[in-house]
Amino acid sequence: MTQAQTQTQTPALSAEAQAFLTESHLCTFTTLRPDGSPHTAPVRFTWDKDTGLARVMTTVARRKARNVLARPGGRVSVCQTAGWRWITLEGTATVSTDPARVAEGVRLYTRRFWSPPPRPPGLAVIEIRVDRVLGG
């Protein structure tokens, strides 16, 4: 396998890691500001093992979305922790306001957290194409 193939494939996750990603715990999302400094924010996210996407609901006006928009295809990470257990998903991110993609983000969020996300104006979904997993 070439390095390019490795970077675009979703890493295999253990059954334990998959189960952990269905639980509701403290999560952080890290992006890079235009000046290169990190921006970390608390978030809720979903993991879609079928597509290899982690999704974060937000609005296009929020700093995290603006950071991703300023660095198309840039790298981000989302980390979930509970006591000594943790998992970090890394990959490239995009922001979408496409109604179908936002609806899928809302559907998965509602399934994981048992209630829909807030629906402010400018609702968007950040999709992270996961290519590296740490911890778990």
Q: What digits encode the pLDDT tens for the residues 87-127?
A: 999 999 999 999 999 999 999 999 999 888 888 889 999 99
Q: What digits encode the pLDDT tens for the residues 39-97?
A: 999 999 999 999 999 999 999 999 999 999 999 889 999 999 999 999 999 999 999 99
- Work out the angle at residue 114's Cα, subtended by the Cα atoms of residues 135 and 42, and round it to the nearest 5 degrees: 45
113: left (phi over 0), alpha (psi -120 to 50) or beta: alpha
Question: Which residues lie below 8 Å from residue 84, measured CB to CB, with a gap of 6+?
Answer: none
Q: What token pair was written down for 74? A: 């840039």
Residue listed under structure tokens 């979930």: 80
pLDDT at residue 4 in the model: 40
Q: Is the pLDDT of residue 10 over 80?
A: no
8: left (phi over 0), alpha (psi -120 to 50) or beta: alpha
Q: Is the pLDDT of residue 8 over 80?
A: no
Identify the residue with better confidence: 5 or 42: 42
**Which three-class secondary structure state does DSSP give residue 119?**
coil
Q: Is the pLDDT of residue 11 over 50?
A: yes
